[in-house]
């Protein structure tokens, strides 16, 4: 093999994504609140950007600079800031400094709320426990998850607290083996103590134990409900009413009544004290019906409207005063400002195009309800509006629209479809709605099987397989006909 240096030429194609293209894609992806924060940040870092004042948006009623009197122009010149000096001196000038003093921005934060741990800890402090017991109680509380269940075995808790005891002994220079370690008996006694706290059912290790603790708290340890949960839990979960009826010697109808009582117990008692995060939804788009027509417009009234600063543009035109880093800084900020304004406008137009087509395609939904929702895919929208499928996906992701039928995510309008005997298409979401209505209206003593639902839908012109009905039913959280049957 010959070694050495040589030169050669070749042709090849490469696709390089401009960093600004990444930013443009991010702008499409951003929900309204995120976009507001992003634009406010851009206003802080780019001197060529400034907000359009409300009076400037009304071009007809607004007064232009040329219409000002000479006295007003003279007064404005006296009050005008020396923008050239600001650019050249790195934004550190004399002038009217009170308008450019850095102000501390305080990020609004959610006030901390009390959770399940705090609720249990407060109750433990009221118990008559010594230091050893209180330490073990804290270990138990720390291992209770958000649902209220004990998240580990008693052996793990014992190993954890004994490990802490050993560390303390080593730090104090004492023999760890000479200290009294925690035992399983102490752990079981403390578990019973924690399980008697509020809410009832807390610190359970299984759903069965959780229900038993709640029945015990209600004083029903001798009731049929207690015995069914304790001795017939598997049959209860499977809705085997006849087997439970024979085992406990009561009518099947009574077993069902008891099962209804058990179903009203809380399977996750800790969630009532969970710190629920508040999610505020501000729709990005609004659809209104005006004179029989559906009109789409952006809900961006609170979005900062950007424009190029006239003062900075005038200074940037005099290129003789700037060189080196100053010139590079001005060029980059001016280009960035121009691009940002164009990108925001492009985002607005893209969202309007996509939503207008959705409204046109789903007009029957707006007029008649979810059963008339038509199948729609991202590819179909992309082909109609002349965009790439990934662009449409970014436009619709995490975006919401306010409609006469409520505030809905844009993804709501996209679903697969099924054919009808008339040759039309019907949305899978509409089929699910029909299945839900059929189940709600059925006779509880003779519930509809999946095949019966298939036959009903077929009579309505919808061709669907039984396994598809079973899949949609599972997605809706509807049990099978056997499980829904009442005696």
Residue 96's Cβ-side half-sphere holds a number of Cα atoms within 13 Å equal to 7
Query: Exposure of 312 by Cβ count < 10 A (0-12 exposed, 13-18 middle, 19+ buried)?
Result: buried
Instruction: Report which secondary-structure segment, H or E, holds 288.
Output: strand 285-290
Query: Exposure of 251 by Cβ count < 10 A (0-12 exposed, 13-18 middle, 19+ buried)?
Result: exposed
How many whole angstroms separate alpha carbon 19 and alpha carbon 24? 9
How many whole angstroms separate alpha carbon 373 and alpha carbon 137? 55
- pLDDT, tens digit only, all 487 positions of the chain: 566 677 777 776 654 545 555 566 667 767 777 777 877 887 777 777 777 655 555 544 433 334 444 554 455 444 444 444 444 444 443 333 333 334 444 444 555 567 888 899 999 999 888 888 888 899 899 899 989 999 999 999 888 888 887 887 777 666 666 667 888 999 999 999 999 999 999 999 999 999 999 999 999 888 999 999 999 999 898 888 889 999 988 898 899 999 999 999 999 999 888 765 566 778 888 999 888 889 998 887 777 777 777 767 666 666 666 666 666 777 777 777 777 778 888 888 888 888 999 999 888 888 888 878 888 888 888 888 888 888 888 888 888 999 998 899 888 888 776 666 555 567 778 888 888 888 888 888 888 888 888 888 888 778 888 888 888 888 888 888 888 887 7
DSSP label at residue 127: S
List beta partners, residue 290.
293
- Which pLDDT score, from 0 to 100, does residue 4 have? 67
The C-alpha torsion from 361 through 362 and 367 to 369, rounded to 10°, is 160
Residue 478's Cβ-side half-sphere holds a number of Cα atoms within 13 Å equal to 24
How many whole angstroms separate alpha carbon 140 and alpha carbon 337? 57
How many whole angstroms separate alpha carbon 151 and alpha carbon 134? 19
How many whole angstroms separate alpha carbon 453 and alpha carbon 221? 42
Tokens of 458: 């077929």
How many whole angstroms separate alpha carbon 202 and alpha carbon 124? 13
Query: Do residues 287 and 404 lie in contact, with contact meaning Cβ atoms separated by under 8 Å?
Result: yes
Domains of the chain: 18-59+280-414 (no CATH), 116-273 (1.10.10.1330), 417-487 (1.10.10.60)
Non-local (6+) Cβ contacts of 271 within 8 A are 146, 147, 148
- Please report the beta strands in 53-156, taking only residues with DSSP state E, as ranges in sequence order: none
pTM of full prediction above 0.85:
no
Non-local (6+) Cβ contacts of 398 within 8 A are 29, 31, 409
- Which pLDDT score, from 0 to 100, does residue 176 have? 61
- Which pLDDT score, from 0 to 100, does residue 463 have? 80
Q: Nearest to residue 211, comparing CAs of 253, 255, 149, 273?
A: 149
Q: Nearest to residue 229, comparing CAs of 259, 196, 198, 266?
A: 259
How many whole angstroms separate alpha carbon 438 and alpha carbon 430? 13
Residue count of the chain:
487
How many whole angstroms separate alpha carbon 69 and alpha carbon 77? 12
- Which pLDDT score, from 0 to 100, does residue 321 have? 60
- Which pLDDT score, from 0 to 100, does residue 262 have? 92
How many whole angstroms separate alpha carbon 288 and alpha carbon 262? 46
Query: Do residues 438 and 388 lie in contact, with contact meaning Cβ atoms separated by under 8 Å?
Result: no
């Amino acid at each position: 093999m010959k070694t050495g240096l040589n030169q050669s030429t070749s042709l090849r194609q490469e696709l390089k994504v401009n960093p600004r293209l990444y930013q443009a894609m991010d702008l499409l992806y951003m929900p309204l609140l995120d976009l507001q924060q992003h634009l406010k940040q851009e206003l802080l870092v780019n001197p060529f950007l400034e907000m359009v004042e409300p009076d400037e948006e009304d071009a007809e009623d607004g007064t232009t600079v040329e219409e000002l009197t000479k006295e007003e122009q003279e007064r404005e010149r006296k009050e005008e800031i020396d923008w050239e000096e600001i650019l050249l001196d790195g934004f550190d000038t004399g002038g009217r400094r009170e308008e450019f003093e850095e102000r501390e921005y305080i990020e609004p934060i959610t006030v901390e709320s009390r959770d399940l741990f705090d609720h249990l800890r407060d109750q433990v402090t009221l118990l008559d426990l010594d230091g050893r017991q209180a330490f073990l109680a804290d270990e138990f509380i720390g291992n209770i998850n958000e649902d209220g269940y004990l998240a580990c075995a008693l052996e793990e808790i014992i190993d954890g607290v004994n490990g802490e005891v050993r560390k303390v002994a080593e730090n104090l220079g004492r023999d760890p083996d000479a200290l009294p370690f925690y035992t399983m008996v102490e752990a079981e006694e403390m578990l019973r103590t924690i399980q008697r706290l509020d809410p009832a059912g807390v610190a359970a290790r299984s759903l069965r134990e959780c229900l038993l603790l709640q029945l015990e708290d209600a004083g029903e340890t001798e009731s049929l409900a207690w015995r069914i949960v304790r001795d017939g839990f598997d049959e209860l979960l499977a809705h085997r009413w006849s087997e439970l009826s024979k085992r406990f010697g009561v009518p099947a109808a009574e077993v069902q009544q008891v099962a209804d009582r058990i179903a009203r117990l809380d399977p996750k008692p800790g969630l009532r004290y969970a710190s629920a995060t508040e999610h505020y939804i501000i729709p990005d788009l609004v659809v209104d019906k005006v004179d029989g027509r559906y009109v789409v417009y952006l809900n961006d009234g609170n979005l900062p409207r950007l424009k190029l600063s006239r003062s900075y543009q005038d200074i940037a035109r005099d290129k003789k005063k700037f060189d080196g880093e100053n010139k590079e800084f001005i060029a980059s900020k001016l280009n960035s400002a121009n691009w940002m304004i164009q990108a925001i406008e492009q985002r607005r137009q893209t969202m309007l195009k996509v939503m207008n087509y959705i409204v046109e395609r789903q007009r029957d939904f707006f007029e008649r309800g979810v059963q008339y929702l038509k199948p729609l895919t991202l590819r179909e929208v992309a082909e109609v509006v002349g965009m790439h499928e990934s662009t449409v996906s970014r436009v619709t992701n995490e975006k919401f629209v306010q409609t006469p039928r409520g505030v809905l995510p844009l993804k709501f309008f996209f679903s697969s479809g099924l054919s009808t005997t008339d040759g039309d298409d019907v949305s899978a979401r509409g089929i699910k709605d029909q299945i839900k209505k059929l189940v709600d209206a059925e006779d509880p003593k003779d519930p509809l099987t999946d095949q019966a639902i298939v036959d009903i839908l077929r009579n309505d012109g919808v061709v669907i397989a039984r396994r598809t009905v079973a899949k949609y039913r599972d997605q809706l959280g509807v049990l099978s006909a056997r499980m829904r049957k009442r005696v």
